[in-house]
Chain A
């Protein structure tokens, strides 16, 4: 039986790797997740026959049922726009599970397995717990349960102090070879929870995707380390594969946002600029929906720049409907996606795919930025910072240096916006004051509906 169990774990590990590999291409991505799913089911079922399990079969099954059912229902219900925080939530659960496993190992207080065993258990406990509490804060922030960015004096020093305490306790538990008290163990976990919270609360919503990705990598590592402790190669391989893949993904995201990972973690969005941002001159000029409809209907090329505001207004279906009307009139319609449009790289592509927009008219920043100069109209819907020209010119601006979409290079720029406020980062957008920019105020969905009826009336 042991042989069958080990073989199944081996097959599961192969399926995970092949599954992830297939997810790297849109054509095979769906098959990839199914393969990985098969691996997971196989590994779970075979674990019932694992030699180390002596009892608790019933409650184990109940626990799988409870956790699975809650996750299944919430995952089925969640809207595509809320996907990032759900990933944070499920990731936090995984980190919590790894930490709980480590807690039991450490509770057994059996140092006879040697220093490597004990220190990896401690390390997994630390990383898993941080991933757990950090992900929960990330979830709360993106879900809108906790909007404020909390900062206080000497925060970095307090964090450092907590971290040093964790390291000391961890070293003691790993290397002393002596029994430690239950109180010390509890203190260790409480401090780790606090550290995860403290690390996450000063980080603004805009940086959250990077942080979620980082915690995803953390959880992977914690799972890998606990896999060693339990002598389970499937956990070791799957965990570390995710750990390294997640780390790379985090770097890619941070790079797309032009925010080094250390900046995301140790400074705050909006502190990059040294002085006051440049004064914005000019005024915002309003336009009627019917005029925009005429402008686009008789254009040759229209580039649509969707932002998170469009997704919040659930306007993507309307936008695609409008695009089809324009295409019927012979207008070339293209979508320009900024790497951080939406809340994670690729999030906007998911949202547009949901509305049925085909791949071949959706372009990345690098592919389309040259084309704005030849476009008659660029239509900015619910995007703000990613089209702010201040990123190119104003060295004092906090977003200086971030690659932006050159929406302002088009002959006419139309901005659909709910109100006159600033964007996610709280920075005034020079684009809105430019000579060739007109503002169409209103809810994304409502404004697009007006545009649709305007085009139909022509």
Chain B
């Protein structure tokens, strides 16, 4: 990929992240941190690609570890976030 296009992507993504968080009420900070933790679980995709093109046994092993860790990040991040937000919904309903 062209270096400058990548730079533009990085810049726009950085602004997007900043904008999203700047309007968040304090009560949602913990779930949001957890939610953003889940989103970087997308590293799983990269781990899979890397493992799929591993050239040596060593690389395959490291790739395997990468996929295990990344899957843990994605699944764990999702489940804890969902559990937290689920409770928020029920308490809001009682009003």
Contacts and interface: CB of A to CB of B under 8 A. Distances in A.
Contacts of A43: 42, 44-45
A240 interface: yes
A232 B52 CA distance: 15
Nearest to A253: B29
Nearest to B32: A23
A56 to B, nearest CB: 5
B46 A235 contact: yes
A402 interface: no
Interface string A142-156: 000000000000000
A256 interface: yes
Nearest to B70: A97
B30 A100 contact: no
Contacts of B88: 26, 29-30, 350, 353
B75 A68 contact: yes
Contact of B76 (A74, A96, A232, A342): A74
Nearest to A248: B21
A93 B54 CA distance: 20
A75 B80 contact: yes
15 contacts: A20-B35, A21-B20, A43-B45, A63-B71, A67-B68, A68-B75, A83-B30, A91-B40, A100-B47, A100-B62, A223-B43, A228-B6, A234-B42, A235-B43, A349-B27
A249 B47 contact: no
Nearest to A354: B87
Contacts of B16: 17, 237, 241, 244
B37 to A, nearest CB: 5
B63 A100 contact: yes
Q: Which of A75, A86, A87, A220: most chain B Cβ within 10 A?
A: A87
Contacts of A349: 26-27, 30
B54 A245 contact: no
Majority DSSP secondary structure for residues of B touching A: helix
Contact of B42 (A12, A26, A30): A12
B52 A252 contact: no
A380 B63 CA distance: 51
A260 interface: no
10 tightest A-B contacts by CB?
A53-B52, A67-B71, A71-B76, A100-B66, A244-B17, A94-B73, A75-B79, A63-B67, A245-B17, A97-B70
A313 interface: no
Contacts of A246: 17, 33, 36
Contact of A239 (B1, B28, B40): B40
B40 A23 contact: no
Interface string A231-275: 111111111111111101100110010000000000000000000
Interface stretch (A32-40, A286-294, A439-447): A32-40
Interface in B55-91: 55-56, 58-60, 62-91
Contact of B69 (A19, A75, A96): A96
Contacts of B38: 33, 36-37, 40, 90
A200 to B, nearest CB: 17
A349 to B, nearest CB: 4
Contacts of B28: 23-26, 29, 346
A245 B81 CA distance: 16
Nearest to A182: B58
A66 B47 CA distance: 14
Interface string A368-401: 0000000000000000000000000000000000
Contact of A63 (B56, B68, B75, B87): B68
A278 interface: no
Contacts of B67: 60, 63-64, 67, 97
B72 A90 contact: yes
A353 B70 CA distance: 30
Of B74, B83, B88, B94, chain A has the most CB atoms within 10 Å of the CB of B74
Contacts of A236: 6, 9-10, 13
Interface string A301-339: 000000000000000000000000000000000000001
A346 B31 contact: yes
